[in-house]
């Protein structure tokens, strides 16, 4: 039973990380660096939980305002801040980060490292008697962290490869603010339990998938085009 719970908790994050890794077909990232990013994402659960508890202790709101505070500030801001910090400290300045697709790959690995440990906490320890928790989180929560990671990586890459300092700083802020907003909306809908918002939950999740798959496809195409240009140049030199 315990072994099955561990598998249920870990499998979604590993599977999604491998799926994103396989999209990077033309200029793959160093496996050691990816493992380092993933494990760093897992380790930030510790400071994240501490900050979230501190923020919850000063929650003076009630009702829907408490739900908004918890969704956007306690969870959204704190978790996305620490996930972004992993990419900035571990991979952002690494020489292997040499194309835009890399930003998405690194941000997703950081996000899924975090999501995997969070999933273990819920599935194995908090709700081990309820198998539906693992199913729900495997279908919705862990993929949501991946999608927030795609958004974060999209803007981190725009920041890294921008030649304009003002734009660079703007994209760096968006790499935190936009996934924080998405994360907050996702959590707020579920926490508020407002019927009209619950109706909008599935369309919102579909929207997240569509916009982030487009971003992933955009950078994948750029990676392919860059690879083909380099290959053509090499062929011409021979």
pLDDT at 89 exceeding the cut of 90: yes
How many helices and strands in the chain, by DSSP H and E? 10, 0
Q: Which residue has the tokens 């569509």?
A: 210
d(CA 93, CA 222): 20
Q: Which domain holds residue 230?
A: 2-237
3-state secondary structure of 193: coil
Please check whether residue 20 is in contact with residue 105, taking contact to mean a CB–CB distance below 8 angstroms.
yes
179 vs 152: CA distance, rounded Å: 6
First to last CA, the chain: 60
Q: What is the mean pLDDT of residues 80-99?
A: 98
- What is the arithmetic mean of pLDDT over 198-209? 96
CA atoms within 13 A on the CB side of 190: 16
DSSP conformation letters of 175-214: HHHHHHHHHHHHHHHHHH--HHHHHHHHHHHHHHHHHHHH
pTM of the predicted model, to two decimals?
A: 0.94
Q: Is the pLDDT of residue 74 over 70?
A: yes
Query: CA angle, corner 139, sides to 82 and 83, nearest 5?
Result: 5
**What is the rounded CA–CA span in Å between residue 40 and residue 111?**
10
Number of domains in the chain: 1
State residue 1's pLDDT score: 64
- How many percent of the chain have pLDDT more than 70? 98
Going from the C-alpha of 185 to that of each of 59, 69, 70, 118, 207, the distances in angstroms are 18, 11, 11, 19, 12
Q: pLDDT band for position 233 (50/70/90)?
A: low
Helix axis angle for 100-120 and 45-57, nearest 10°, is 70
Q: Name the band, by pLDDT with cuts 50, 70 and 90, for residue 234.
A: confident
Express each pLDDT in 29-60 by its tens digit: 999 999 999 999 999 999 999 999 999 999 99
| 229 — pLDDT class (breaks 50, 70, 90) | confident
Please report which confidence band the pLDDT of residue 126 belongs to, taking 50, 70 and 90 as the band edges.
Answer: confident
- How many alpha carbons fall within 13 Å on the CB side of residue 134? 19
What pLDDT shows up at residue 227? 84
- Please compute the mean of the pLDDT values over residues 178-182 and round it to a whole number: 99
Q: How confident is the model at residue 125 (pLDDT cuts 50, 70, 90)?
A: confident
């Amino acid at each position: 039973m315990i072994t099955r719970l561990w598998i249920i908790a870990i499998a979604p994050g590993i599977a999604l990380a491998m799926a994103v890794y396989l999209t990077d077909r033309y200029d793959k990232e160093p496996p050691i660096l990816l493992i380092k990013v993933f494990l760093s994402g897992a380790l930030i659960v510790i400071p994240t939980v501490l900050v979230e508890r501190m923020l919850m202790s000063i929650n003076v709101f009630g009702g829907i305002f408490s739900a908004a505070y918890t969704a956007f500030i306690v969870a959204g801001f704190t978790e996305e801040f620490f996930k972004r910090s992993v990419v900035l400290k571990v991979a952002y300045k690494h020489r292997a980060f040499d194309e835009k697709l890399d930003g998405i790959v690194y941000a997703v690995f950081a996000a899924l490292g975090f999501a995997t440990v969070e999933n273990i906490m819920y599935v194995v320890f908090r709700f081990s008697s309820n198998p539906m928790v693992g199913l729900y989180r495997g279908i919705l929560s862990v993929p949501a962290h991946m999608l927030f990671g795609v958004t974060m990586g999209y803007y981190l890459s725009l920041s890294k490869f921008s030649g304009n300092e003002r734009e660079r700083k703007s994209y760096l802020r968006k790499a935190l603010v936009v996934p924080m907003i998405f994360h907050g909306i996702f959590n707020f809908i579920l926490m508020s339990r407002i019927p009209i918002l619950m109706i909008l939950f599935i369309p919102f999740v579909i929207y997240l998938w569509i916009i982030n798959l487009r971003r992933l496809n955009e950078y994948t195409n750029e990676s392919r085009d860059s690879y083909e240009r380099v290959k053509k140049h090499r062929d011409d030199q021979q």
